[in-house]
Chains A and B, each alone.
Chain A
Amino acid sequence: EAQVTQNPRYLITVTGKKLTVTCSQNMNHEYMSWYRQDPGLGLRQIYYSMNVEVTDKGDVPEGYKVSRKEKRNFPLILESPSPNQTSLYFCASSFITPGLLTDTQYFGPGTRLTVL
């Protein structure tokens, strides 16, 4: 089954304790992205990657790191989490098709993070 998976789905942690949220897709997509969703703000992009070893900042990158060492995986790293990073996080992926205007992004199930 084609899918984007995220782990963990739920996480409660404390300020300053490093954590990693994993994201994996089995569709051979070039493009992967992380979003956070906060009430009243919709979804905002944190980081994205166009392919292996190619990453770039989105709209709200502060406090986050990413890496893309393999095509299927795109982990989100919070080196020193703070309470304002409490949010619902989504990973998404898509093809990048030459000549196609845009490609549909498919989302993982979300990770609900609480930082105390």
Chain B
Amino acid sequence: AQKITQTQPGMFVQEKEAVTLDCTYDTSDPSYGLFWYKQPSSGEMIFLIYQGSYDQQNATEGRYSLNFQKARKSANLVISASQLGDSAMYFCAMMEGGSEKLVFGKGTKLTVNP
């Protein structure tokens, strides 16, 4: 069963605007972590942000924030003040506690327009 769902194959945003990339997940384990990675056209995977299932506050890292809604099992990535360099594939991933296995969604391609 697919555990991570990213429903937006592609998204477009104007430079300097905010954008939300959706991610829903499925797990029965109360302990888990959620991750977002960025993959630019050069191909490398860049870690952006992490949210633990017991974290009380939504994670933030600079212009990235994670809108964590536990009851809805969603972990959307919000990028504020988009820049041209934000154009990339974005992957949501989950790891259940103690498993060390990272399960990825299929990704969302973000294009930032000038």
Contact = CB atoms under 8 A, between A and B. Distances in A.
Interface of A: 31, 33, 35, 40-45, 48, 50, 58, 88, 90, 92, 94, 96, 101-110, 112
Contact of A48 (B52, B54, B93, B100): B100
A105 B105 CA distance: 16
Contact of B106 (A42, A92, A94, A104): A42
A50 B100 contact: yes
Contact of A104 (B47, B54, B91): B47
The 9 residue pairs across chains A and B that have the minimum distance between CB atoms: A102-B33, A107-B45, A42-B104, A43-B104, A42-B106, A102-B95, A101-B52, A110-B43, A109-B44
A33 B44 contact: no
Given A42-B107, A102-B32, A107 B44 contact: yes
Interface in B83-114: 91, 93, 95, 97, 100-107
At the interface, is chain A mostly helix, strand, loop or mixed? strand
Contacts of B47: 104-107
Nearest to B47: A104
Interface residues of B, number: 26
Given A45-B101, A92-B102, A101-B54, 17 more contacts: A33-B100, A41-B106, A42-B91, A42-B104, A42-B105, A42-B106, A42-B107, A43-B104, A44-B104, A45-B103, A92-B45, A96-B100, A107-B37, A107-B44, A108-B44, A110-B45, A112-B43
